[in-house]
Amino acid sequence: MIEVKGLNQTFMLGKKHNQTKLQVLKDVSFTVEKGDIMAITGRSGSGKSTLLNLIGGFMKPSGGQIFINNQNVSEFNEGEFSDFRLQHIGFIFQNFQLITSMTAYENVELPLVLKGVPETQRNELVINTLAKVGLADYQNHYPSELSGGQQQRVSIARALIIEPPIILADEPTGSLDSETEQDVLAFIQQLNRDYGITFLIITHDEEVAQIGNKQIHLHDGKIVKEELAR
């Protein structure tokens, strides 16, 4: 489903004429199978967010290749990756990344709007998806009127609405209290179980990493440990 081959990422830091190289990822290779929950762990600065951003197409790799559904996405340009994301990848962000001027309904509807789904079909899909995440009664609420857990559920609903085969989650519980964290993690597991959605989760939290059936540990941009669930 996701195949990462010899991925390297280098950033140039400092002033223009006095730059220094910082290699964030060093020859990273791994595979995520369909239906997996893969957890990528590591301390701050280990390169795990960079890895997710590369797989999500938010930046171009300095070297190596990324295959998603057998397509070499590392060669895509920005427009091609946008279209690809809209069809194949859902995102869950640590800070939810909801558009504050839109209601929960409108935020969840947004991917369908971008896909060009007719308005008549959108209504039913959005209401069903909001019901699935337990927010049917909150559709007209703005993000500022929702709790952190509810906002993350809206974010999950927005990722789910396009029925993606893959969801990339960047610290999905990082902004939540422990009780809500358990709810969200249980929900992720449920989605994986019921719909076969593949998850790639970035976390520094061991408890979150435990829900994965595969785990990769990054240290200084290198995979130092790769293990299957106990």
Partner 1 sequence: MTWKDKWRFVRKNMKKSKSRIFMTVLATAMGVTFLIVLASVGFGLHDSIIKEQLQDRAVTQMEIAGLETEGAFQLITDKQIEELENIEGMRAVTRRVELQQTPSFQIEDYEGSGSTVVAHFPSEIEAGLELSEGKLPENDHQVIVGHHFAQNLHQANVEPDELYNENGEIKDEYQYSESIVGKEIEMMITQMVDGEEQQHSISLTVSGVAEAPARDWMIDTTVFISEAVLAEVEEFTGTPRGARNDPDYPLPEEETLGYHQVIGYADSLEEVETISDMLKEKNYYVYSVADELSQINVIFTIAKAGLIFIGTIAIIIASIGIYNTMTMAVTERTQDIGIMKAIGAHPKKIKQIFLIESSYIGVLGAIIGTAVAYAISILVNAGIPLIISGAMGEELPEGFQFSAIPWSLVAISTAICLIVTILSGLKPARRATQVDVLKAMRREI
Binding site residues, partner 1, CB under 8 A: 53, 56, 58-59, 78-79, 82-87, 89, 91, 93, 95, 97-99, 101, 110-111, 113-116, 118-119, 158, 162
**Contact in structure between 95 and 175 (CB atoms under 8 Å):** yes
Of all helices (H) and strands (E), which one includes residue 29? Answer: strand 20-32
The pair of structure tokens assigned to 49 is 């967010």
Kindly state the smallest distance separating residue 55's Cβ from partner 1, in Å: 13
Rounded Cα distance between 32 and 47, Å, is 18
Residue 196 CB, nearest approach to partner 1 (Å): 21
State the nearest-atom distance from the C-beta of 106 to partner 1, in Å.
9
Closest CA to 214 of 88, 70, 31: 31
Q: Give 32 or 54: the residue with its C-beta nearer to partner 1.
A: 54
Which CB atom, from 82 or from 128, has the smaller least distance to partner 1? 82
φ, ψ (nearest 5 deg) of residue 43: -75, 170
Query: Which SS3 state, helix, strand or coil, does residue 99 take?
Result: coil
67 vs 84 by CB, closer to partner 1: 84
User: Toward partner 1, which CB reaches closer, 201 or 209?
Assistant: 201
Residue 144 or 178 with smaller CB distance to partner 1? 144
* Of residues 52 and 188, the one with the C-beta less far from partner 1: 52
Query: Coil, helix or strand for 117?
Result: coil
DSSP H helices, 31-168, are 48-56, 78-88, 104-115, 119-132, 148-160
Distance CA 159, CA 163 (A): 8
3-state secondary structure of 41: strand
Task: Give least dist CB 182 to partner 1, A.
Answer: 26
Q: How far is the CB of 153 from partner 1 (least distance, A)?
A: 16
CB of 107 to partner 1, least distance (A): 9
